[in-house]
Structure 1
Amino acid sequence: MPLPDVLPPGISLHRLELDLQADFRAAWPDLTPAERERAGRYRLDADRIRFTQTRATVRRLLAERLGCAPADVPLVQTPSGKPCLAFDGNDLAGVLLFNVSHAGHHALIALADPARVAQLGVDIEEEGDGLDSDGVLELAFTAREREALRHCADHRRAAFARWVGKEAVLKAVGTGIADDLRAVGIRPCADGRLEIDASLPACRGIEAVALPAPHGYAAALAWRSKD
């Protein structure tokens, strides 16, 4: 997948087209027993397929770099729920950084060289009606963002461009998304960059950019380069 010119070296991005009619058990060989059990807890088949196809692809990409079978990739979660690599209790973040997002029929998987990139977050969303209500705007957007949205001809697209930027930034720093949405303001720039106005100290040094996305979707990537 082509990346914007403003990205630093060391980041690769993979977009996966999800077949929501597929048999989710086709991914079984690349998943752990715990992941298969988790898949079975999803109520909707579409959610089950999004999880299994995306997680299996993540495992295959990481396995190529770690030299092991996909099911043996040592994936764990941080206390905030962010997937990461670990092995025998020792952090392997120095091997590879990654982040994942999926929505509708698409998933994004971002990988980064930890020698160049310190933090990484990616988000993709299907542009539905979820951001149109005044209540959502009040809860999730800063006053500056709400004022800017009032003057946008395509209100929905403009709202989602900011939403995915927020999510990517908060996923990069590993904080709680629901609690901190209004602590991060996003302003799209003409060159694709997303200007970040954040009150969270953890967001210092984070950069973000809008990503090419299929029609009806919005996507963004956030990162902090190593000094």
Structure 2
Amino acid sequence: MYPLRRLSLSERIPGGIEVWLLELDVGLPVPDSELALLSSEERVYAQRFRRQEDRVRSIATRAALRRLVGAHLMLPPDRLRFVVNAYGKPRLESESGIEFNVSHAGCCALIALSTSGRVGVDIECEDHAIDANNLKDLTAYVFSPLERRIALQVPDDFIRHWVAKESVLKALGLGISEHLQSVSILPRDDEAYEIVHDFPEWREIQAWRLSVPDGYAAALAFQTHDRPSAQGKSYEVSRLTSRLPLSGMDRCQGQAAYPQLCDQFVRQIDHA
């Protein structure tokens, strides 16, 4: 088994949400004890990766997820059955009251569990070699016009913003590339983000920065069953017009401009 520890979260995040950090040694093969927990489909999926480090991340993360969920449900980890939605987000086959999400990068993986509603998590290495010539194009494709006004100009800013946006879309169970322009994530001075969108059904979505090892950026998003906290705020665009200049805002702007470039970036960070 790999080292697994629960992260300390803000007291303003609901108690039914927890995030676990898995530390991996991607230079060594996965122990047989980890592989034994996976279903035959999960084993086949993991063996498709050509690089050992990708196989390690896939197998170890899924094995740790099975252990954590199994402990919550008091079921053997290898007895759990998963299905995926139209965008590939996994969930338990039977209704359990537990939502979960995972992400991995480099030698770390995050596993988020929630009994309070939907949850999403993302972690990325901050040392991604983003070509400066491509940064402007990526920003135009990934960020909404509102987000671009905060002038994220350096790769580190891009990665930190990316994890927040991806965690939100994962919590909502949506495709990443298809919905990048549907929501704006605005950084704040504290751990929370402000989220701007025009979908009433997303009203309770929140996103928070996570404290992870140096060299990584990570974020947690969740949509609780209860009323949202006053700290992590989500706004509909129609309610924000008095606070921010939104003239000319177009959710689809840039969406057709650089799809190939963005898809290449998504594949790059997913296999880092």
TM-score (norm 1): 0.89
Check whether the contact 1:140–1:182 (CA below 8 A) recurs between aligned residues. yes
Structure 1 position 190, deviation (Å): 1.1
Aligned to 1:79: 86
More deviation in 185-194 or 19-28? 19-28
CA deviation vs aligned residue, 1:192-217 (integer Å, no higher than 9, x gap): 11111123454221011111122121
Q: Distance in 1 between matches of 2:131 and 2:197?
A: 20
Q: Aligned partner of 2:145: which letter?
A: A
Q: 5 Å matches for 1:54-69?
A: 54-69=61-76
CA deviation vs aligned residue, 1:134-170 (integer Å, no higher than 9, x gap): 11111101123223125x6xx2222222111110110
The structure with the larger Rg is: 2
Aligned to 1:129: 129
CA RMSD of aligned residues (A): 1.7
Q: Aligned partner of 2:81: which letter?
A: P
Correspondence 1:6 to 2:12: yes
TM-score (norm 2): 0.75
Q: Distance in 2 between matches of 1:131 and 1:159?
A: 12
Q: 1:33 to 1:101 in 2, by over 3 A?
A: same
Unaligned 5+ residue runs, structure 2?
A: 1-6, 227-272
Structure 1 position 5, deviation (Å): 2.8
Structure 1 position 38, deviation (Å): 1.0
Aligned to 1:165: 164
Q: Distance in 1 between matches of 2:31 and 2:47?
A: 10
Check whether the contact 1:84–1:93 (CA below 8 A) recurs between aligned residues. no
Q: Distance in 1 between matches of 2:19 and 2:64?
A: 12
Q: 5 Å matches for 1:12-91?
A: 12-26=18-32, 27-87=34-94
CA deviation vs aligned residue, 1:44-83 (integer Å, no higher than 9, x gap): 1111110000000000111112222211112111121111
Check whether the contact 1:187–1:194 (CA below 8 A) recurs between aligned residues. yes
**What fraction of aligned residue pairs are identical, expressed as a percent?**
39
Number of aligned positions between the proteins: 216
Q: Distance in 1 between matches of 2:212 and 2:202?
A: 25
CA deviation vs aligned residue, 1:159-190 (integer Å, no higher than 9, x gap): 22211111011001101111111222111111
Check whether the contact 2:139–2:148 (CA below 8 A) recurs between aligned residues. yes
Aligned to 1:138: 140
Q: Distance in 1 between matches of 2:53 and 2:201?
A: 34
Aligned to 1:182: 181
Q: Distance in 2 between matches of 1:224 and 1:167?
A: 14
Q: Distance in 1 between matches of 2:31 and 2:8?
A: 31
Q: 1:149 to 1:42 in 2, by over 3 A?
A: same
Aligned to 2:105: 103
